[in-house]
Structure 1
C-alpha cells in the first residue's frame, strides 16, 4: 500500500506544476488507485520486455481531462508515469493534445533529462503509440527519433492512401495527392547510395507542406556535424531528395579528407544534416523576416538538442547556410543562446548584425562565399553585407582552379545555386570548414587563386 501511495504522490507532483499557459486553481488528481482482480494483459510485441512481464494486479487509472488541461513538459512527465497500456490508450484517444506538445517550445535540456528518467517500458510504449511526438522532440537521441519518425512516416503514407481512396471531393483528393507525393519524396530520400553513410529521419512533420530533416551519418557519435540550411523556393516535396543527396556528397567529401587523420580507434566520424526544418519563402513572402524567425527558432532548438544528447562528448558543430537560410541562421546566432564552432554564409542577403564578432560563433570561424553572377550577394537586403571587408568574415574561393593540396582541377560556381556542386572549389572549402580545417580553405579575396588561408597567414 505504501508503494501505491508513493506512486500517486510522485505522479501528482509531476503533474501539479503550472504548465505553459495554464493556471491551476485546485489540485489535479490525474492518477487514481484501482483494484482489479484480473492481471494486466501482456504488452505489445514491439515493447521492451526487459522489465516485468506484466503489471501488478493493482492497476492504475488516470484522469484524461486533467492530463489534457496541462500540456507541454508537464504532460510528457505525466504520461510517462502511466503504465505502458495506459500510454497507448491515451495516445489513441488524444492525438490533438499530443500534436500540441509537438508544437510547444520545450527546452531540449528538459526533454533530455525527462527522457533519461523515463522507464524503459514507458519509452517503448511512447515509441509505439506516439512516434510523431517522440520523433519531434529535440533532446531525445537520434537513434530513438529516427525509427520513431520512420514509423510515423509509413503510417502517414498508409493513412493518406486510405483517405484518398474513400469517397471525398475533388479538392480534397488533390490535396491528399500532393501530401502523398511529399511523403513519398521523404521516403525516397532515406535510401542511402553505395559508399554513403546511413540516413536517418531526424525530424518529420506531415502537416501542410511538411518538414523533414535527414541526417547522413550517426548524429549521436559524430565528431563533426554540418548543417546544410537552404533558402527560398525549397519545399519538402520538390527538394528533399536533392538536398539530402547534396548533404551525402558533402559527407563523402569530408570523409575523404579525414581518412588519413586517425583519431582514437579510427578516422574521425562525420554527420551532415539536410535541414528542411522550416518553411522557406517564395516571391510573396521573401520581403518578410517572419519565416526566417521561425527557421531561427527551429535551428536553435535543433542545435540545443545535440548539445543535450551529447553530454561531455560534444561534436564540432558547423552551419553551412545558403541564401535566405543564411538569414535564418544569422538571426539564431545573433541571440547567443547557443554557440556553434563554424559558420559559412553563401549567397547571403545578410541580416541585422553588422559584424561577424557579434555572432555566437567560436573564434574567427565565420566564412563567406560569393559567386560571379549571383544576384543576391552584395545587396545587404536584410541589413548587412557579409561579403564586405567591414563585416569581418573570411572570404573563401568559389571560382574554380587547382586544389593546392591534391592538384586536382576544381570547378567554379556561377550564379546563385551552384555552391554545393560536387567537384567544385566551393564544395571543397565548405567540406573543410565543416571538419575544422579552415586553414586549408582557399582564399576568395585578393590573393592569387588557389592560395590556402594557412599559406596567406
Structure 2
C-alpha cells in the first residue's frame, strides 16, 4: 500500500524519460526485427541445415514478437502512469490549498490537522463551512490514496506481464503487428467510482482522473457520469446529451419495430386485436417518452448557454434538470423546484424561460449594485412531482428531497474550494420539497413561493444562514394560506416576507403586483415585484429587495427607502 508521502514523492518526469526510451527501442525492434524476419527462407537453400535454420529463425522471431509487444504495452502503460501521476498530484495540491484556506493541514500520513485546535478560528471562517470542508478533505485524501494504489497495482501488473512475455500472440506475421497487439492491450485503467458515492466522494474521484480517462468515461459510460452528483456541470452535460441522443435513437427504432408489427396484424382476428391493443399501449408510452425527450432538446436549444445536469428515465415520467448559464463558473446558482402537477413534458420549457430571465436580471443587478459576478439558474425537475391526490401527503416531497439534497451538495462539491453562492427556490409543493432537502443540504439563501408549508415550524431546522430565508405570498393564493404542511413561513421568526405588491423602484419603471398561485404566470413573471425580489436574492443585492417584514408589514423599498 502506498502512502500520501509516497505519492507526493512520485516523479512523473522520470517516467516520461522511460516512455521516450521505450518508444525509441520499440521502433528499433520493429525495424530491425522485420528486416531479420525477411532473411529466411533463403531461396534455393534446402535440406536439414535449412530446416534447422528455419526452426531457429522462428524461435527468434517469436521472442522478438514478445519483446516488441511487451515494450509497446509497457511504453503505453508508463505514459499513462505519468499522466495519472500528474492528475493525482494535482489533486493533492488542490487539497492542500483547500485545507490551508480553511485552517487545516494534511499530514504525510494522510491525517488532517486543525490549525485552530483549542483556539477560535477567524470570524470569516464559518463553522459549518469548515465542517463541510473537513468532510470533503477526508473524502479527497481517501480517494487520492485509492487511485494511487490502483495505479501502482496496474503498472506493476503490466511490468510483470511484460517480463513474462505475456503480451502479443507470438504468432503475428511481423514484429510491427506484434507491437500493435501490445499497444492495443489494456494498460492503466481508470479507477472505478466509490460504490454509493456521496457528492464529495464523487468529486474527489473525478479530480484524480486524467483528462483522457474522463473523456473515455464520458464516451463509454455516459449514463454513469451524467447521473453522478458532485461532478462538474460540463462533464454531466456532455454525458447526458449523449444519453439523450441514444435514448431518442433507441426509442425511434423500437417505435418503428412496433409499428411494423401492428401493420401486419389482422384486426378481424380477436387474438390479433388483443395483441394490437397491447402494442398500441407500448407505442403510446414510447410516444410519451419521445415527447419528453423532445422538450429537453428544445430547452437545450434555447438562446444562451444551457447545461443538462440530470436526465433520469426511471419511472413513468422523465426527470431532468437544465441550467441556464454555467454552474462551474457562476458566482451565484439558483435552483428552482416546481410543485403540484409539474412535469418535463408540460412545464420544462416555460420554467426554463422564466429562470433564464431571472438569471439575466440577477446579472444586471449584480453588475449595477453588487459584486458583478455572473449567475446560473437551474430548473430542477429531478423528482416525481405529485399529479393527483398524492399532493395531500409529504411522501413525494420526502422522496424528492432525497434527490434534491445531494444535487445541491454536488453543486458545491464540484467547485472544489470555490463554491458558488447557492439559492434554493421552491414553489408550492416544491417549496415543501425544498424545505425538507435543506435539512440535509446547505444553501446560502432559500426562497419559498406560494408555500403550503416547509414541514417544520422552525426555520433554524434548515441549513440556511440566519436572515437568509425569504417567503413570497400573493394575495388570493389559497395554497399559501393553507398551512397544509406546517406553519406558514410568513409567520416564522427569522423569515423575510418579500412583497408581491406593486412597487416603485427609485431607478426604474414600476413593478407589477402578482396574485393567485401560478408560478410561471405570477410569482416568476418578469416585470413584477415578486420576480424582481427573486433576482435580487440571487444577485445578493439586499438593498434592492422590497420587504414586507413583521411587525406591521412595513415596506423597505429598493435603494433603502
Please tell me the TM-score bracket, short chain as reference.
0.7 to 0.9
1:268 aligns with 2:268: no
1:201 aligns with 2:311: no
- SS class of match (1:382): coil
Native 8 Å contact 2:167 2:181 kept in 1:
no
Distance 1:290 1:79 in 2: 42
Residue 392 of structure 1 and its aligned partner are, at CA, apart by 3.0
Structure with more helix by fraction: 2
| Alpha-carbon distance change, 244 to 187 in structure 1, aligned in 2, over 3 angstroms | same
The aligned counterpart of 1:89 is: none
CA displacement, residues 220-269 of structure 1 (integer Å, 9 cap, x when unaligned): 11111111111110111111111111110111111221223585xxx311
1:413 aligns with 2:514: yes
Alignment of 1:384-403 (within 5 A): 384-388=487-491, 390-402=492-504
Residue 122 of structure 1 and its aligned partner are, at CA, apart by 2.6
The aligned counterpart of 1:331 is: 436
Native 8 Å contact 2:370 2:541 kept in 1:
no
Residue 363 of structure 1 and its aligned partner are, at CA, apart by 2.5
| Alpha-carbon distance change, 410 to 38 in structure 1, aligned in 2, over 3 angstroms | farther
Distance 2:367 2:558 in 1: 20
Q: For 2:473, which of 364, 367, 370 is the aligned residue?
A: 370
Residue 449 of structure 1 and its aligned partner are, at CA, apart by 5.6
Distance 1:379 1:107 in 2: 36
Native 8 Å contact 2:370 2:539 kept in 1:
no
Native 8 Å contact 2:366 2:541 kept in 1:
no
The aligned counterpart of 2:126 is: none
- SS class of match (1:387): helix
- SS class of match (1:353): coil
Distance 2:365 2:148 in 1: 54
Residue 447 of structure 1 and its aligned partner are, at CA, apart by 4.4
The aligned counterpart of 2:168 is: 37
Q: For 2:255, which of 164, 178, 188 is the aligned residue?
A: 164
Distance 1:357 1:81 in 2: 40
| Alpha-carbon distance change, 130 to 212 in structure 1, aligned in 2, over 3 angstroms | same
Distance 2:302 2:184 in 1: 48
- SS class of match (2:425): strand
Residue 391 of structure 1 and its aligned partner are, at CA, apart by 3.8
- SS class of match (2:482): coil
Native 8 Å contact 1:345 1:369 kept in 2:
yes
| Alpha-carbon distance change, 344 to 56 in structure 1, aligned in 2, over 3 angstroms | same
The aligned counterpart of 1:341 is: 444
Alignment of 1:178-189 (within 5 A): 178-189=288-299
Q: For 2:327, which of 210, 219, 227 is the aligned residue?
A: 219
Native 8 Å contact 1:228 1:275 kept in 2:
yes
Output the TM-score relative to the length of structure 2: 0.62
| Alpha-carbon distance change, 379 to 80 in structure 1, aligned in 2, over 3 angstroms | same
- SS class of match (2:438): helix
Name the Cα RMSD after superposition: 3.2
Distance 1:203 1:108 in 2: 14
1:451 aligns with 2:557: yes
Moved more, 290-299 or 210-219: 290-299
Distance 1:304 1:428 in 2: 27
The aligned counterpart of 1:44 is: none
Residue 33 of structure 1 and its aligned partner are, at CA, apart by 6.1
CA displacement, residues 172-224 of structure 1 (integer Å, 9 cap, x when unaligned): 0111000110000100011222xxx4111111113331111011111011111
| Alpha-carbon distance change, 14 to 379 in structure 1, aligned in 2, over 3 angstroms | farther
Distance 1:200 1:54 in 2: 39
Native 8 Å contact 1:215 1:272 kept in 2:
yes
Distance 1:217 1:54 in 2: 45
- SS class of match (1:410): coil
Q: For 2:345, which of 215, 230, 237 is the aligned residue?
A: 237
1:422 aligns with 2:526: yes
| Alpha-carbon distance change, 374 to 262 in structure 1, aligned in 2, over 3 angstroms | closer
List alignment gaps of at least 5 residues for structure 2: 1-69, 82-145, 152-156, 171-178, 262-278
The aligned counterpart of 2:386 is: 281
Distance 1:371 1:294 in 2: 28
Native 8 Å contact 1:183 1:206 kept in 2:
no
Distance 1:305 1:400 in 2: 37
Native 8 Å contact 1:438 1:453 kept in 2:
no
Q: Which has the larger radius of gyration?
A: 2
The aligned counterpart of 2:51 is: none
Distance 2:184 2:245 in 1: 36
Distance 1:444 1:38 in 2: 79
Alignment of 1:62-73 (within 5 A): none
The aligned counterpart of 1:257 is: 365
Output the TM-score relative to the length of structure 1: 0.76
Q: For 2:543, which of 431, 439, 444 is the aligned residue?
A: 439
Residue 58 of structure 1 and its aligned partner are, at CA, apart by 8.6
Residue 106 of structure 1 and its aligned partner are, at CA, apart by 2.4
The aligned counterpart of 1:22 is: none
Distance 2:404 2:470 in 1: 19
Distance 1:367 1:54 in 2: 64
The aligned counterpart of 1:129 is: 220
Distance 1:320 1:199 in 2: 19
